[in-house]
């Protein structure tokens, strides 16, 4: 097993002086390939901030984030890193409404300069692998919530990427659909991907190999799920 993302003593402070807000304090976390780590905690505990730092959408005030062995502090073009190494899945609004399912999946590859035909072939391959070939040419508003999340997960995996950062991906879904999404994420892990999952619900955390509890920006516990969903 190899580390896909590693956070070492990471802190993130918003603002300065008396107005400073400590979103994260001295977080250290390592997610291995094939591992699904769930992050839980109350609102404002820093879950999303943790995900943003892991994906390079935000930079830590101190500490270091390493993705695929590359320290992000040394990376100038974080956007390029996200296109090639990191996939994001959010609760909703995951897809660009004006692009079809396949075009949404193609997006990171096209942004990376891959020719349209090649990007489409890659996207269709991922969609087919995930059983979504039939919805490839539908627009997001023609898809169900579950289908949208599946397409988003497909997009997070297109190319050579094997790190999925999922922020409440089941938040807008009913329980059976949510289970399907977690099952899918689990299967991607079995295929070698690393998944960092932020969730409120312990039900879904049951799919994880490890659960990290955050409170006031600090990891207060890190354990295997009490009840495994697998």
Binding site for another protein (CB under 8 A): 48, 52, 55, 57-58, 77, 79-84, 86-88, 90, 93-99, 103, 106-108, 110-112, 116, 155, 167
Give me the least distance between CB of 121 and another protein, in Å please: 15
Closest to another protein by CB, 108 or 169: 108
DSSP the chain: --EEEEEEEEEEEESSGGG-EEEEEEEEEEEETT-EEEEE--TTSSHHHHHHHHHTSS--SEEEEEETTEEGGG-S-HHHHHHHHEEEE-SS--S-TTS-HHHHHHHHHHHTT--HHHHHHHHHHHHHHTT-GGGTTS-GGGS-HHHHHHHHHHHHHSTT--EEEEESTTTTS-HHHHHHHHHHHHHHHHTT-EEEEE-S-HHHHTT-SEEEEEETTEEEEEE--SS---
Give me the least distance between CB of 39 and another protein, in Å please: 15
Closest to another protein by CB, 94 or 209: 94
Closest to another protein by CB, 50 or 210: 50
Closest to another protein by CB, 99 or 133: 99
Residue among 137, 136, 116 at smallest CA distance from 125: 136
Give me the least distance between CB of 229 and another protein, in Å please: 27
In contact, 72 and 23? CB cutoff 8 Å: no
Give me the least distance between CB of 61 and another protein, in Å please: 14
Give me the least distance between CB of 228 and another protein, in Å please: 30
Closest to another protein by CB, 43 or 223: 43
Closest to another protein by CB, 112 or 174: 112
Give me the least distance between CB of 163 and another protein, in Å please: 12
């Amino acid at each position: 097993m190899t580390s896909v993302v590693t956070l070492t003593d990471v802190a993130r402070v918003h603002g300065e002086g008396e107005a400073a807000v400590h979103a994260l304090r001295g977080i250290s976390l390592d997610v291995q390939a094939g591992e699904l780590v769930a992050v839980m905690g109350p609102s404002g505990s820093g879950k999303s901030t943790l995900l943003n730092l892991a994906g390079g959408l935000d930079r830590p005030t101190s500490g270091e984030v390493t993705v695929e062995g590359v320290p992000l502090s040394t990376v100038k073009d974080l956007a390029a890193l996200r296109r090639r190494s990191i996939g994001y899945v959010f609760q909703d609004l995951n897809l660009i409404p004006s692009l079809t399912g396949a075009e949404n999946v193609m997006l990171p590859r096209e942004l990376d300069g891959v020719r349209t035909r090649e990007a489409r072939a890659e996207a269709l391959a991922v969609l087919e692998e995930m059983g979504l070939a039939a919805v490839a040419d539908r627009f997001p508003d023609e898809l169900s919530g579950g289908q949208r999340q599946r397409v988003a997960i497909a997009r997070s995996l297109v190319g050579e990427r094997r790190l999925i950062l999922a922020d409440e991906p089941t938040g807008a879904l009913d329980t059976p659909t949510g289970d399907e999404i977690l099952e899918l994420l689990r299967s991607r892990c079995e295929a070698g991907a690393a998944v960092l999952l932020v969730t409120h619900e312990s039900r879904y955390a049951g799919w994880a190999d490890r659960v990290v509890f955050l409170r006031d920006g600090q990891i207060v516990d890190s354990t295997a799920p009490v009840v495994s969903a697998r």
